[in-house]
């Protein structure tokens, strides 16, 4: 289980010549074991997206206990990635395909704060949280969310879209069996336009069908992969 | 009143060729008013130190209301500085000399977190908070704290040193009429060594007198200037 600050990464997935989280972890494992080792994540996160609980699995030589491997990894990794937990798993465990759902959080700040700017979307306009909730209630269900996503498609079972107020922040928590590319940021973009009254509940079905243009994606810096859920064995 | 993320600044005070908070604010004011304008802060903060409530005053042409000046400044300043409040003050107000006390917060994190690393000290050892409190109780009073400071001296009235636990963080809050250079980081360094049992309460007086070497300064990134207190008019 991995926490990272996405700000200075080109996302999760290995890309030649780019600094990625997967790339850093594979490099650290390869240093520790002296051989090329790959990891498999539960899913990609885009450039700038953070994680509190990304999950990845790997086959490694049985030389170190989980606790010692965790220490060796954290001693080798840069400060913006941290391995929170190392656990042995059955050989058929697959961080991606074994997952039954993913939970993301999006943090919106009403106003501006230099100390939170890397980790929230700073809003320079007013939103009405009740209006956001009206939009949020329409979204859950099994459907193809392609019109809220970016060059991706397929059915997702969106289980919940919850909006909570925490002081000056608005937190949007979403859970689905899987998400299309940029889909969470598409949902938050929609909620924000709803909160401004620029999109009404009756517009939502038309947007989901591609009959009305979707609002812009919310930026990456407010987004966190919080938890990946696996069946309890 | 100013908030800033100190990470990418060479501290508050203008220095030729360096990016400083005072320098950025003076540049923004000079752009807005078309003439060279200076500001005076309540005190310096070092490289990497943050502020939630730094205070600075300035004489500006009476062209803009406080609200419009605030908007113009925030539209001109970089994202890591934010003007929280603009208020008219009497001509004899001086952000430095009118202040009656300064409040600083130091955030210590037990463990590691990529998402907090810019804003806390990540501890890779255990500390006993009760032992820290025993040291903290000895410190308040009027004295020359030169042996906890860096190349600075003079009497300070240290009013309180409070230690609170907030989840996985330990917060140290200190208040004094004034602080010597690096004094808060010297205090926190002392508390941490106390929390590890490496400094005992009976060592404190000797350290304050310069008879025993003081522990290393705590790093800048956990430190915040929270508030500057002025007499109520």
A107 plus A209 within the same structural domain: yes
Contact B3 A119 (CB under 8 A): no
- Model pLDDT for residues A138-147, shown as the tens digit of each residue: 999 999 999 9
Same domain assignment for residues B211 and B105: yes
What is the average pLDDT value for chain B, to the nearest integer?
Answer: 96
Final residue belonging to a domain, choices B83, B110, B134: B83
- Residue B68's CB: how many other CB atoms inside 10 A? 12
Cα(B176)–Cα(B103) distance, integer angstroms: 7
Residues A31, A130, single domain; the answer is no
Is 90 exceeded by the pLDDT of residue B233? no
The pLDDT of residue A227 is 98
| pLDDT exceeds 90 at position A107 | yes
User: pTM of the entire structure?
Assistant: 0.92
Residue A33 to residue A93: CA distance in whole angstroms: 21
In a domain, residue A92? The reply is no
Report the 10 Å Cβ neighbour count for B93. Answer: 15
Distance in Å, alpha carbon of B75 to nearest chain A alpha carbon: 11
For the cut 90, the answer to whether the pLDDT of residue B145 exceeds it is yes
Number of structural domains chain B divides into = 2
Give the total residue count for chain B: 233
Whether the complex's predicted ipTM is more than 0.85 is answered with: yes
* CATH of residue B64: 3.30.70.580
- Assess whether A124 and A225 both reside in one domain: yes
Q: What is the pLDDT of residue A70?
A: 98
pLDDT of residue B232: 85
- pLDDT, tens digit, 9 for 90 and up, residues B205-223: 999 999 999 999 999 999 9
Q: Is residue A126 located within the same domain as residue A193?
A: yes
Contact of A226 with chain B, judged by CB distance below 8 Å, is answered with no
Confidence grade of residue B12 (pLDDT, cut at 50, 70, 90)? very high
Q: Mean pLDDT score of chain A, rounded to an integer?
A: 96
Q: For A97-102, what is the mean pLDDT?
A: 97
B93 Cβ contact list (under 8 Å, min separation 6) = B57, B230
Q: Are residues A112 and A213 in the same domain?
A: yes
Q: Is residue B159 part of a domain?
A: yes
Instruction: Identify whether A210 is part of a domain.
Output: yes
Q: A87 CB near a chain B CB, below 8 Å?
A: no
Residue B220: inside a domain, yes or no? yes
Residues of A with CB below 8 A from B80's CB? 114, 117
Name beta bridge partners: A98. none
| Chain A residues with CB-CB distance to B82 below 8 A | 112-114
Quick check: A125 contacting B, CB < 8 Å? no
Task: Please tell me whether residues A209 and A112 are part of one structural domain.
Answer: yes
Q: Is residue B91 part of a domain?
A: no
Q: Which of A81-85, A137-141, A229-233, B182-186 has the lowest mean pLDDT?
A: A229-233
The domain in which residue A33 lies consists of: 2-83
Q: Residue B94: inside a domain, yes or no? A: no
């Amino acid at each position: 289980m991995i926490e990272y600050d996405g700000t200075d990464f080109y996302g999760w997935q290995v890309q030649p010549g780019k600094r990625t989280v997967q790339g850093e972890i594979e490099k650290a494992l390869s240093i520790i074991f002296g051989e090329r080792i790959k990891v498999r994540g539960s899913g990609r996160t885009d450039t700038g997206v953070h994680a509190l609980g990304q999950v990845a699995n790997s086959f490694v030589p049985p030389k170190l206990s989980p606790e010692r491997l965790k220490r060796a990894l954290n001693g080798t990794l840069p400060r913006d990635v941290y391995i929170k937990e190392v656990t042995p798993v059955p050989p058929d465990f697959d961080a991606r395909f074994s997952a039954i759902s993913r939970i993301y959080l999006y943090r919106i700040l009403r106003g501006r704060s230099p100390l939170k700017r890397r980790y929230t979307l700073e809003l320079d306009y007013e939103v009405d949280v009740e209006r956001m909730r009206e939009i949020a209630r329409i979204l859950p269900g099994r459907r193809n969310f392609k019109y809220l996503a970016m060059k991706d498609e397929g059915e997702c079972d969106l289980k919940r879209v919850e909006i909570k107020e925490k002081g000056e922040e608005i937190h949007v928590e979403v859970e689905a069996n899987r998400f299309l590319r940029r889909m969470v940021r598409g949902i938050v973009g929609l909620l924000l336009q709803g909160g401004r009254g620029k999109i009404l509940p009756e517009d939502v079905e038309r947007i989901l069908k591609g009959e009305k243009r979707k609002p812009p994606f919310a930026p990456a810096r407010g987004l966190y992969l919080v938890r990946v859920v696996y069946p309890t064995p």
